[in-house]
Structure 1
Amino acid sequence: MRLPRTPVAVALVCLLALGVPTLTVSTAAARPASAAPVPATVTVTGEGSASAPPDLAVVGAGVEASGKTSQAALDAQHKAAAALLAAVRAQGVADRDVRTESVSLDPVYDHTGGTSRLKGYRAAQSFSVKVREVAGTGAVLQAVADAAGDAARIDSVVFDLSDPAPLKARAREAAYDDAHAKAAQYARLSGRDLGRLVSLSEDAAAYRRPAPSAGDASAAGLSAVPVAPGEIRAAATVTAVYELD
């Protein structure tokens, strides 16, 4: 029995005969997929720090001399600087650990009576001296004062670490452990299990040296020079996001 052809059936037959592709719509594919549930999370801040004794001292020292002429001032300054350098080398400080920071020559005026009169010249030179044996810092300071006499100047002493990277790493580890412990506590309090770590960011990091101890303008008159190195401290703060299972 041959069924009658409708206009739609005739059109489909023609399209197939011509090789034109046809579109089949699936009602199942047209339905939107159900959204996956968003997991609960907990966001915490972790703080950590670590400290270590310094293994390096950076001494700011120099010399200053005056003279009636610029050459006289320079000659006196050169003599005092040479004595200073010889003294720190005698204390075991290597040449690579001594660096000239500044050299200056300035006129000195007398302003008495409302007029300016040239009195002479002042020459100065400053050095940065790294002392790698912290216990010997006081001896280096004393050597500078003894060698350069009244021309000696001690500007500052700063204690530090020659390699601060391990100390900073310990501070970051402590901050991470603190964040994980807080997140685990919040998970337990909410009756959940702590899930995977979603994100971790470092918010702040700090590296604190003991405050520089400034010396007097003149180092003359120093006897024994006691120093207190203190501790170097590193700190870190992180923010962590964990899923709750």
Structure 2
Amino acid sequence: MVRSLRFLFTLLLVFGVLFSGTAFAAEQKVPVISVSGTGRVEGVPDRADLTLGVVTHAAAAEEAQQQNALTASAIRRTLSALGIEDRDIRTEDYSFHPDYDRSNGRTNEITGYTVSNKISVHIKNIDLVGQVIDSALAAGANNVSSLDFSVSDTKALRRAALTAAVKDAREKADIIAQALGKKIVGVQNISENSYDFNSRARKSFMANAAADMSMSTPIEAGTITLSADVHVDFIIAD
């Protein structure tokens, strides 16, 4: 009796393994077409990030620091008058160092001091960008190092880019399936690879107080392009 039960158990185990292997093999044999799709959409920027700089030089350390502080305060007041909130103004970098006379092999003789203060400004009204630059320069800023444009609502752009990427993948799969005399009957797997602001509107430039202040600074934000990539395995059949 015990031997019969052991034999029956062994037989069931063998059939179970064979059945599982057959099912796995059948699953592996499902024909698929693997394609990648890319979607790109453009958006109009409605935000800007600007970096202003104040660099002062003086023979005395305290004088260089005070000049810089006075100018930076004047710039902040100017920005506030334009409607820029305090939380959108921050110190990005601050440095203080002595200046040395390195002529004729001299290395230790201090000739003065330099203070550099970089101020980052987040501008929510993109129409104010040119006015912010002009007003900051008039208030004493002597460097504008970068200007970046962005879109506040990226969710809608991402959704549109992803939809376009899936459509692109399906169009490719349809072409391949038709060439093979097959048709698409389902999706086995889909994965989202990445999002990329690959054409992010950006301007980098230098401006100084010697610029012609009789003309306002023209600023064109252009457009921002967002791309999305997907990989899809489409199931095909006759």
Which residue, 50, 53, 58 being the options, matches 1:62? Answer: 53
2:228 aligned partner: 236
1:105 aligned partner: 96
d(CA) in 1 for partners of 2:197, 2:228: 9
Residues 107, 122 of structure 1: 8 Å contact kept: yes
TM-score (norm 2): 0.84
d(CA) in 2 for partners of 1:115, 1:243: 76
2:111 aligned partner: 119
| Superposed CA offset, 1:97-128 (max 9, x none) | 10111121111122233324321111121110
| Superposed CA offset, 1:28-78 (max 9, x none) | 988866946533211111111111011111000021111111111111111
1:166 aligned partner: 156
d(CA) in 2 for partners of 1:43, 1:118: 68
d(CA) in 2 for partners of 1:215, 1:113: 32
Which residue, 121, 124, 128 being the options, matches 1:136? Answer: 128
Radius of gyration: which is bigger? 1
1:39 aligned partner: 30
Which residue, 91, 95, 101 being the options, matches 2:86? Answer: 95
d(CA) in 2 for partners of 1:102, 1:233: 30
2:39 aligned with 1:52: no
Is the deviation greater in 172-181 or in 220-229? 220-229
d(CA) in 1 for partners of 2:157, 2:103: 56
Query: Helix, strand or coil: the match of 2:83?
Result: coil
d(CA) in 1 for partners of 2:171, 2:187: 13
d(CA) in 2 for partners of 1:175, 1:187: 18
Query: Helix, strand or coil: the match of 2:177?
Result: helix
In the TM superposition, residue 232 of structure 1 has moved relative to its aligned partner by 1.1
The one-letter amino acid of 2:103's match is T
Structure 1: give runs of 5+ residues left out of the alignment.
Answer: 1-14
Residues 80, 152 of structure 1: 8 Å contact kept: no
In the TM superposition, residue 210 of structure 1 has moved relative to its aligned partner by 1.8
Which runs of at least 4 in structure 1 moved beyond 3 Å after TM superposition?
Answer: 20-25, 28-37
Residues 145, 222 of structure 1: 8 Å contact kept: no
Query: Helix, strand or coil: the match of 1:214?
Result: coil
1:3 aligned partner: none
1:180 aligned partner: 170
The one-letter amino acid of 1:175's match is A
Query: Helix, strand or coil: the match of 2:54?
Result: strand
d(CA) in 2 for partners of 1:222, 1:58: 23
Which residue, 67, 81, 88 being the options, matches 1:76? Answer: 67
Identity %: 27
d(CA) in 2 for partners of 1:39, 1:115: 79
d(CA) in 2 for partners of 1:163, 1:70: 45
Query: Helix, strand or coil: the match of 2:77?
Result: helix
2:206 aligned partner: 215
d(CA) in 1 for partners of 2:232, 2:175: 14
TM-score (norm 1): 0.82
Residues 205, 236 of structure 1: 8 Å contact kept: yes
